[in-house]
A = this chain, B = another copy of it.
Amino acid sequence: MRIYLAGPDVFLPDPWAAAAAKKAVCARFGAEGVFPMDPVHCPEADAAAEPFLAIYLRNEAHLRACDAVLANLTPFRGPSADAGTVYEVGFMRALGRRVAGYSNDPRPFASRTLDFLGEQVRRRADGSWEDAEGLHLENFDCHDNLMIDGGIRAAGGPFVARAVPEAERWRDLVAFEAALRLLLEG
């Protein structure tokens, strides 16, 4: 199984080390981990004048050539996961591929959003929460926006969340490995 390793890991100071660590775990289980920054044959990307578009097209080519996505959904600069990773989860669900996720922060989305907004939230008459601009806070027992949890569920999962020390949250691979095992068993 070729597994696209989605996540903000690409932003780490040592993305290649992060890629190698994840690929080694995949290899131990007989799977192939594909990192977004891996080389890929993509003539459209080679022809793209703009660097951002070349990167996008290579990532898309990788996604199309993988059987599954295993997404790092650890919250990133806000209550939700990295936007690029979320895009890739939706993309793979629409292609009918396997979708798995993990997070190194097990708090529910509603709690994280309340923490993020702090003093700015207020109660509506029906007891639900809204932000300073009047926009509702989702309050399901979900890890992130329901489209992400729903997409993983609709695709057969798995999703694993686990608390890790703050300093390790971008490198700890215990939840990653647990999700990988469930993905390969599923």
Number of copies: 2
Task: Select A90's contact among B55, B79, B89, B117, beta carbons within 8 Å.
Answer: B89
A95 to chain B, nearest CB (A): 5
A135 to B150, CA, bound (A): 28
Dominant secondary structure of chain A at its interface with chain B? helix
Q: Is the Cβ of A84 less than 8 Å from the Cβ of B154? A: no
Q: Is the Cβ of B56 less than 8 Å from the Cβ of A146? A: yes
One digit per residue, 1 when the CB lies within 8 angstroms of any chain B CB and 0 when it does not, for chain A 2-35 equals 0000001011110000000000000000000000
Contacts of A140 in B (CB 8 A): 50-52
Given contacts A91-B90, A145-B84, A148-B83, contact A56 B154 (CB under 8 A): yes
Decide if A147 is an interface residue (CB 8 Å cutoff): yes
Decide if A182 is an interface residue (CB 8 Å cutoff): no
Q: Is the Cβ of A11 less than 8 Å from the Cβ of B91? A: no
A79 to B86, CA, bound (A): 14
Interface size class for chain A? 35 or more
CB under 8 Å from chain B, chain A span 42-93: 50-53, 55-57, 59-60, 63, 76-84, 86-93
Q: Is the Cβ of B94 less than 8 Å from the Cβ of A150? A: no
Q: Is the Cβ of B84 less than 8 Å from the Cβ of A148? A: yes
6 new A-B pairs (CB below 8 Å) besides A8-B135, A86-B86, A90-B91? A11-B138, A56-B146, A56-B151, A60-B150, A81-B83, A84-B148
